[in-house]
Amino acid sequence: MEDRLLIERCLTGEREAQRQLFEQTSVRIYRLLLRMTGNPDDAADLTQETYFKGLQRLDQFDGRSAIGSWFYRIAVNEALQFRRRQGVGTVKLQAVAPNQPTEAQRPRTDLELDMESALAELPPDDRALLLLRYQEELDYRGIAEALDCAEGTVASRLSRARDKLREILRKSYG
């Protein structure tokens, strides 16, 4: 109900309501984009693009899905388009920049860095899929909404993405 009222206010162009919506959802979106791109500057640019487009097109949000899924969908599309513009290639890892403190400022372990490298080698749509499920903890329905795909295909796509990731990790361990 709270969401709905806030969205109603956003739809009238009320800037304060739009700011509140941004405050409520932007950490998740920025975090996803940070791990999708591996670069804080790119993640910030794409987050900005996501909210600019999302708030402008909010009248197209039908209310049947969660507002988070709406922004996730735009964010993933922005990230995929960004990768296409950059040309196919792996993400240049820079996921933990000085202005991005991790928990208690600890350095990332080798295992974590291996995982980041492996994720970076995955095709971007597989990376988005895995991050939406295991980092953002969306259920299959939420993932289907965010990726605009059939819910019935999510399990098999996840299975393939996990297998690819496992294969990359195995290779990296020799």
Partner 1 sequence: MCCEQVERQLGRYVDDEISAAEREKIETHLGFCSSCQAELEEMRELVRGIAQPPAVTVPDFLWASIARRLDKTDRTISPARPLRRLRFRGAPWAIAAGVVLAVGLSMFGLSSLESTAHASTVDFGVLLDALPLDAQKAFRKFLMRYDAKPSTPVAAKRIASALNFDTPPVLPGGFRLQSVYELRIGGTRGIAAAYDRDGEFLAAVFHPPMKHEKFGSHENLPCVIGDHCGHKVQVGEWKLVHLTDPTTCHCLLSRVDEQSEMPAVMAAIAPKLTETGPTSDHHHP
At its nearest, how many Å lie between partner 1 and the CB of residue 130?
5
CA gap 139, 100 in Å, rounded: 27
Could you tell me how far CA 155 lies from the centroid of its own chain?
A: 18
Does 166 bind partner 1 (CB under 8 A)? Our answer is: yes
Site residues for partner 1, 128-147, by CB under 8 A, read 130-131, 133-137, 139-140
Q: Which is nearer to partner 1, 40 or 83 (CB)?
A: 40
Q: Is 171 in the site for partner 1 (CB under 8 A)?
A: no
Angstrom CA distances, 124 to 129, 150, 170, stand at 9, 19, 20
* Burial state string for 2-17 with b = 16 or more CB within 10 A and e = fewer than 16: eeeebbebbeeeeeeb
> What is the DSSP-derived secondary structure letter of residue 93?
-
Residues comprising the chain, all counted: 174
Per-residue x/- marks for partner 1, 55-84, CB under 8 A? xxx-xx-xx---------------------
Among 67, 75, 91, 119, binds partner 1 (CB under 8 A): 119
Per-position x/- string for 84-113, each x denoting binding to partner 1 as judged by CB under 8 A, each - no binding: -----------xx--xxxxx-------xx-
Q: Which of 16, 87 has the CB closer to partner 1? A: 16
